[in-house]
A and B are shown apart, each in its own frame.
Chain A
Amino acid sequence: KMATLAVRQSPVGGFSFENCKRNAVLEGEANKVGYSLPAARKTGTTICGVVFKDGVILGADTRATEGMIVADKNCSKIHYISPNIYCCGAGTAADTEMTTQIISSNLELHALSTGRVPRVATANRMLKQMLFRYQGYIGAALVLGGVDCNGPHLYSIYPHGSTDKLPYVTMGSGSLAAMAVFEDRYKPDMEEEDAKRLVRDAIAAGIFNDLGSGSNIDLCVITKGKLDYIRPHDEANKKGVRTGDYKYKRGTTSVLTKSVTALNLEVVEETVLTMDTS
Chain B
Amino acid sequence: KMAAATMSPYFGQQMSSKNDLVPAWTSQEVSTGTTIMALEYDGGVVIGADSRTTTGAYIANRVTDKLTPIHDRIFCCRSGSAADTQAIADVVTYQLGFHSIELDEPPLVETAANLFRASCYRYREELTAGILVAGWDRRKGGQVYCVPIGGMLVRQPVSVGGSGSSYIYGFMDSNYKPNMTKDQCLELTAAAVSLAMERDGSSGGVVRLASISKDGVERRVILGNQLPKYSTH
Contact = CB atoms under 8 A, between A and B. Distances in A.
Interface of A: 19-20, 23, 26-27, 29-30, 32-33, 35-40, 42, 44, 65, 67-68, 90-92, 95, 125, 128-129, 131-132, 135-139, 141, 156, 158-164, 166, 172-173, 175-176, 210-212
Contacts of A68: 19-21
Nearest to B1: A29
B67 to A, nearest CB: 15
Contact of B83 (A38, A125, A162): A162
A33 B4 contact: yes
Interface stretch (B41-49, B53-61, B163-171, B177-185): B53-61
Contacts of B63: 166
Contact of A160 (B13, B26, B30): B30
B4 A30 contact: yes
Interface of B: 2, 4-5, 7, 10-14, 18-23, 26-27, 29-30, 53, 55, 58, 60-61, 63-64, 81-84, 86-87, 90, 126
A40 B11 contact: yes
B21 A173 contact: yes
B4 A161 contact: no
Contacts of A166: 61, 63
B123 to A, nearest CB: 11
B21 A212 contact: yes
A161 B22 contact: no
Contacts of A19: 10, 12
A95 B13 CA distance: 9
B22 A212 contact: yes
Given A166-B61, A173-B23, A160 B4 contact: no
26 contacts: A19-B12, A23-B12, A26-B11, A30-B4, A33-B4, A35-B4, A37-B7, A37-B14, A40-B11, A40-B14, A42-B21, A44-B21, A44-B22, A90-B26, A91-B26, A129-B87, A135-B126, A139-B27, A158-B55, A158-B82, A159-B27, A161-B83, A164-B60, A166-B61, A211-B20, A211-B21
A39 B18 CA distance: 8
Contacts of A160: 29-30, 81-84
B13 A37 contact: no
B26 A141 contact: yes
B6 to A, nearest CB: 10
A158 B11 CA distance: 21
Contact of A137 (B13, B83, B86): B13
B218 to A, nearest CB: 22
A38 B22 contact: no
B29 A36 contact: no
Contacts of B82: 158, 160, 162
A40 B60 contact: no
A39 B16 CA distance: 10
A158 B30 contact: yes
B165 to A, nearest CB: 21
A141 B61 CA distance: 14
Contact of B11 (A23, A90, A128): A23
